[in-house]
Amino acid sequence: MNSPMRRSLTQETQPSSGFTLLEILTVLLIVGILVIISATTWLSFLNTLRLNAAQDQVYQVMRLAQSKAKQERRRWQASFQATHQHVQWEIHPVAIISGSDRGELNWSSLTGWVTIDPNETTLYRSSDDIYRVQFNHHGHVNGRLGRLTLAGLNPHKARRCVFVSTLIGTLRKARDRPRPRNGRYCY
């Protein structure tokens, strides 16, 4: 008789296996917080990559216009405009940009998720919001020096810029700084 009684007592006192509802909810809460933190960091990283890619593209477009000007021994221009969804660019001889010929330009788009920051951009801007830089037949800047500043569409608004910094056509890239210099953050 002792034997069946012992079995029922040992079965009742054994702890049940598994986790309690409170333990599961705590783990899920911690995992959820970690996912949110890592997702925002990942999105910030992706936005920075897109912005860097767009900056590299702008730099290459300006270099290409400069190279074409030297190669063909006439003035070439790199033009940039911001549309609702993206930034577009075009390189062409300066003679093409007379009023009625603007529709003939074959605009190409930069990689997405960027826009032109008009407060930081100092390149020449036409009345129809097209920014431009021109190069003469020596590859030197024909007209105004300045910078084209790209901003990410994310709330933190990181910036990258491409400078046309000397009359002989020196181009350089820069990024956003925490403190302004001459009222500008991208230098």
Where residue 10 falls among pLDDT bands split at 50, 70, 90? low
Q: Which of 176, 177, 161 shows the shortest CA–CA distance to 62? A: 161
Domains of the chain, each with CATH number or no CATH: 23-186 (3.55.40.10)
Q: How many Å apart are CA 142 and CA 168, to the nearest integer?
A: 9
Mean pLDDT over each residue of the chain, to the nearest integer: 87
Most confident of 6-15, 16-25, 59-68, 101-110: 59-68
Number of other CB atoms surrounding residue 176 within 10 Å: 20
Where residue 102 falls among pLDDT bands split at 50, 70, 90? low
Number of other CB atoms surrounding residue 148 within 10 Å: 28
Alpha carbon of residue 143 to chain centroid:
27
Q: What pLDDT sits at residue 95? A: 79
Q: What is the mean pLDDT of residues 151-158?
A: 78
Where residue 1 falls among pLDDT bands split at 50, 70, 90? low
- Residue-wise pLDDT for 34-79, tens only, equals 999 999 889 889 989 999 999 999 999 999 999 999 999 999 999 9
Q: What is the mean pLDDT of residues 11-39?
A: 86
E strands, the chain, in order: 76-82, 87-93, 108-109, 114-116, 124-125, 131-135, 146-152, 159-164, 171-181, 184-186
